[in-house]
Structure formats: C-alpha cells, structure tokens
C-alpha cells in the first residue's frame, strides 16, 4: 500500500510539474515583448551585439540602450519600461544580416557620433580628387564600423574612448582621440535644463551625450581643414509627425535656412511661420533643411500626433563659430555651414529607400586646435508622452508652439 501511495505521489508530482512547465511556457509566450516596444528591441539587439542598458537615476522605467560596437550610439530609449514605446529607428534587416554594406552601414539609432564635413574640399567622406557623387561617397570606418571601447560605466552612464587618424579630401591627416559619454538624466535635470515648472502628468526619458575630439598631432589650420562633431538621431515617422525648428532672425521673412538640399520642398511639406520652421516627417518624401548658427536656436523637436510623442533635442550653439559646410561641392566659404539639420527620409530615384525614418541633427563649430586642445559638443535628447495638457505646456515653453498648432500646420 505504501508502495502504491508513493507511486501515486510521483505520478501526481510529474503531472503538476508538466502543468507548471506548460503554464510557464504559456506565460513566457504571453510576456514576449511586442514589436515596437523597448523590450522587443532589447531582446533583438542583444542577439547580435553586446549592449549597455542605462536607467535614469530616479525612474526605473526610463531606459536607453547603447551599443559600443556602433561607436557608442544610443540605439533607442523608452519612458515606460520594457512594454513602453521604443523611440529610436532600428534597421533590423541590416543588423540581422551581419553583412557590411558599401558606402554606409545605416544600423539606425537615435543618437550617433559622426564627423563633419561631409562634402567640400575638407570632406572626410570623399578621397582626394574624387568626384562628389554617390559612387565615391564613403562613410569613414571610424564612424561606421569601428567599435568604441568602454572606459567606464555605472547604472546611468557609460564612457568611450578611441584613438585614430583620418584623412580629408585635401590630404590633411588628423590624429585624434575621441571621447564620448552618455548619461541618463533625472526628472529634476529635465525640468531644470528646459526651464519648466513641472513635467505634469506625462512620462519622460532623457539623456545627455558629451563628445570631444582631441588633436594629438600638429596644429589644425583653416586652409587645410578642420573637423567638427556631428550628432544625428534617427526616429520613427508617422503620417502625423512634424519636425519643429525655432529660429532667430532680424528679418523673419528671410531666415538663414537652407531648404534645397535635394531640390525644392513642396509647400504642403515645409512651412516657415512666426520664427518657426515646420517640416513634415512622414518618411515619404526625401527632404532636408539646415539652419545657420546666426539664425539657429539651441533647440529643436518633433511631435508625433498619432502616438502622442513629443521629442526635443537641446545642444551647444556658438553663433559666432565656424561651422563646416557639408554640401557635395567645392565651397567658396567652407565655414558657412549649418548648426542644425533636419531630414525626412523618402524613396530615391531608383525607388529604393533606406528607412523610413526622420532625423534631428546638431553640429559643433570647428576650431584650429593646437596639439592637446579639443573641441567638445554636448547634446541632450528628451522624449515625452502621455497627457496632452502636459505635452502642450512643454511644447509651448520650449518650442514656442502649441500641440494644436503643430497638428494643424499641414492640414
């Protein structure tokens, strides 16, 4: 009888064990993060690369993913934990393929470190004497495929350093040390940095990157070229996303804005009104604008009305500085470039498209550095979502326009 009872207990235990496994499996299946969430992107990215996950010091739901192999770029962030919206655009197909592409490896990411200028006699994207066309354009490995070693980290920050050399179109060789630090910001930091009274009833996440280039060789000279820091953020578009770029100008009718990078932008996609420029960011029409330092403000943003997401970038700005020009041509004044750029992706002439995504970009000025001197550029990226009243208060205070104004501009 005891023997039979023991057998029954074993059988019951086995049945319970099987049920627990089944339930566990079902729970795991149910808890698999949905596409578009931070958890989904975290699970995807860690399959292919080592990732660093940072968390805001005062909010466990505010997180960001950084990848050292991609030059310490911030791939994405969220204000709502694993099940929250993931804000950065990620090129899943390219990352999954593991195959490097010619010209550029557009892995995505909502803030990546690049160097300027792109075009002109001081370009670091074209070899000496090459024609300025796509076939000759090449993103330098230093900002495309080279991994940046981690030199320090904690739960809310990570630092990188790499030493390298790079040659420009004029044959000038730069020997440099690149330093980059990404730090998550607290809610108090957000309020103070943007001069807000409160964040209201909305969720938020923000981080700051501090980037520097140290000259490790002979003095840089304007006549042979200099380098600048260029930070670019790739974000997910929607049919109701609009980029907002406030500007300063003594003559609001003639601000120092370049809007013909890829030809004229139709009036239903680009509007300048009351010292604010608006660019449609639906990922369906290739267009780009740039604002010169004399007219730029140190702030820009976007609002996705379809998903209720307000994004803001804040960056260092020197209105008297020399900003490198990046258009694909020899420049009369190579130091008359943009401090701020915004880009909407779209199909190329052959019908192909990299994205869709849109970009917010900031640039540093260039300086004639002596050996041991450095140029530093700081940028902060903020995301807010939730209560429309709170989002509206932030938008009005920081960008100078209401959520409703943004939503109506292209209707």
Across the strands, what pairs with 342?
289, 360
Tens of pLDDT, residues 107-138:
999 999 999 999 999 999 999 999 999 899 99
What's the pLDDT at 22?
A: 34
Segment holding 187, helix H or strand E: helix 187-193
What's the pLDDT at 31?
A: 74
Mean pLDDT computed over 27-31: 51
Distance between CA atoms of residues 113 and 115, nearest Å: 7
| Summary mean pLDDT of the chain | 91
Question: Residue 18 — very low, low, confident or very high, per pLDDT cuts 50/70/90?
Answer: very low
Under 8 Å CB-to-CB from 248, ≥6 apart: which residues?
275, 294, 295, 296, 297
Distance between CA atoms of residues 325 and 133, nearest Å: 16
CB 408 within 8 A of CB 398: no
pTM: 0.91
Long-range pairs, 3-9, Cβ under 8 A, ≥24: none
What's the pLDDT at 205?
A: 98
What's the pLDDT at 3?
A: 38
Distance between CA atoms of residues 245 and 302, nearest Å: 8
Mean pLDDT computed over 232-249: 96
Segment holding 69, helix H or strand E: none
């Amino acid at each position: 009888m005891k023997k039979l009872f023991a057998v029954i207990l074993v059988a019951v235990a086995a049945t319970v064990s099987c049920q627990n496994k089944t339930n566990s499996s079902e729970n795991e299946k149910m808890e698999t993060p949905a596409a578009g969430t931070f958890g989904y992107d975290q699970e995807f990215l860690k399959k292919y690369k080592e990732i660093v996950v940072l968390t805001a010091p005062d909010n466990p739901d505010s997180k960001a993913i950084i990848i050292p192999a991609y030059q310490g770029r911030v791939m994405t962030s969220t204000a709502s934990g694993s099940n929250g919206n993931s804000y950065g655009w990620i090129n899943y197909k390219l990352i999954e393929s593991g195959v490097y592409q010619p010209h550029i490896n557009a892995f995505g990411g909502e803030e990546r470190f690049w160097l300027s200028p792109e075009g002109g006699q001081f370009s670091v994207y074209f070899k000496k004497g090459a024609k300025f066309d796509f076939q000759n354009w090449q993103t330098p490995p230093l900002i495309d495929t080279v991994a940046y070693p981690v030199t320090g980290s904690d739960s809310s920050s990570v630092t990188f350093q790499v030493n390298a050399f790079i040659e420009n179109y004029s044959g000038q060789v730069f020997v440099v040390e690149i330093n980059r630090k990404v730090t998550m910001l607290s809610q108090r930091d957000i309020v103070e940095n943007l001069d807000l009274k409160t964040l209201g009833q909305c969720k938020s996440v923000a981080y700051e990157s501090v980037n520097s280039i140290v000259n490790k060789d002979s003095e840089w000279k304007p006549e042979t070229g200099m380098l600048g820091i260029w930070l670019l953020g790739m974000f997910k578009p929607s049919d109701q996303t609009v980029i907002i770029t406030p500007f300063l100008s003594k003559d609001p009718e003639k601000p120092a804005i370049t809007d013909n990078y890829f030809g004229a932008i139709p009036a239903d996609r680009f509007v300048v009104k009351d010292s604010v420029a608006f660019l449609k960011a639906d990922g369906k029409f290739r267009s780009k604008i740039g604002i010169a330092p004399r007219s730029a403000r140190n702030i820009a943003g976007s609002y996705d009305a379809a998903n209720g997401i307000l994004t803001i970038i804040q960056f260092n700005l020197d209105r008297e500085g020399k900003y490198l020009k990046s258009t694909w041509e020899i420049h009369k004044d190579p130091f008359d470039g943009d401090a701020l750029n915004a880009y909407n992706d779209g199909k190329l002439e052959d019908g192909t498209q990299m994205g869709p995504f849109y970009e917010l970009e900031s640039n540093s000025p260039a300086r004639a550095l002596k050996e041991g001197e450095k140029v530093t550029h700081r940028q902060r990226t903020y995301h807010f979502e939730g209560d429309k009243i709170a989002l509206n208060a932030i938008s009005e205070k920081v960008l100078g326009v209401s959520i409703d104004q943004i939503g109506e501009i292209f209707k």
